Amino acid sequence: MRPLWKPYPEVRGGVPEEYDAWRHALLDTLGSYCAYCESPVTNDTAVEHKAAKKEASQKSEGGFPHRQTDWVNLVVACGACNSAKGAHPDVQDARGVAQRGEDLYHAVMNHWAWPDFCPNPPRRQPYQPPKQQAYQLFSYEYSAQSQAMLRQRDLHLPESEEIEHAHFTRATDQLWVIPNERYISGLPQQDSARAKAKRTISTLKLNRHIEGDSKASDRRVRNRTTTYLNAVAALGDLENIVQRADYRLEDPRIKLMVEAITLEALASGFWSVWMFVFQDPLLTPLPETVWWELKNFNAGAGLAILTALFLTYPQGWNGLDASSRTIFPGTDVSEERLGFRPAF
């Protein structure tokens, strides 16, 4: 997930009484991308509640309707994520993970991995959810998996109709969301972090994909995989240009290719997929690769290219000031949440 910086906006005329009134403020702050799957959102934009807003009933304890206009509880989501998540996590879900004495609303914020952080919560909403490392907590795996196989790995919680589908056990090559074991293995509470990642993946149904279902409207996995393959191809194109330029970053061909890849990433969305493809080769290159040779010419070149591709525009670019230089609006480019320091 893309790490999101979501400061509380200036409110004129009082705090909105309806959560939909936050729609434009959320889009202006976070950009037109789903906070969960990272696909572009245009007309089908949902104001999404991290903690469910549903009212209690005779059959259910409901969610947290008194939190439905809280800025810290709101993000932007695509229709597929909004539908897949449904009215969860609710009170019952929170009870299943809450520690003794823990407020249930706080449990939702603490035991699922949310991408956003509000640095200045309003006084009327004093609770500040923790600054989560959602970007570092998740990774991807390109492999042949079926929905049945993903269920066995606790990476998908299928509905009954999915289990009954003829292709439920059919494996296909797709890009799946998985816990980032490289990051989790260095944490003091590995089991808790891994469980949080899997719980989030299952709640959002980020790996839901039934191959061959002509009626399926959820194309998140398919679109994510297409973006991954395009990113791999773009990395290869950039490698070729860097070689032809004799590893000189000042060569205009490199700048043009970087700008072209950035525009493709902005159009396709899925920021963390692009970072997944580019980050390791550019920051920790393997010997005898183009990026290894580039590092020998210029130790900071890989970081500079990665920053220019997906993180921040150069100082003074197009008249932007330092606070609005992020390429993907709303991205938190701090070292704490990325895991490395960008080349500002």
Residue 321 — very low, low, confident or very high, per pLDDT cuts 50/70/90? very low
Has this prediction a pTM greater than 0.85? yes
Tens digit of pLDDT for each residue in 207-245?
999 776 666 789 999 999 999 999 999 999 999 999 999
Element housing 138 (H / E): strand 138-145
Q: Buried b vs exposed e over 148-187: b needs ≥16 C-beta within 10 Å?
A: bebbeeebbbbeeebeebebbeeebebbbbbbbeebbeee
Write down the pLDDT at residue 14: 63
Average pLDDT for the chain = 90
* Omega prior to 3 cis, within 30 of 0: no
Tens digit of pLDDT for each residue in 132-176?
788 999 999 999 999 999 999 999 998 888 888 878 899 999 999
Q: Which DSSP category does 129 fall into?
A: -
Choice among 86-90, 95-99, 111-115, 322-326 with the minimum mean pLDDT: 322-326
Write down the pLDDT at residue 339: 92
d(CA 205, CA 147): 11
Element housing 335 (H / E): helix 335-338
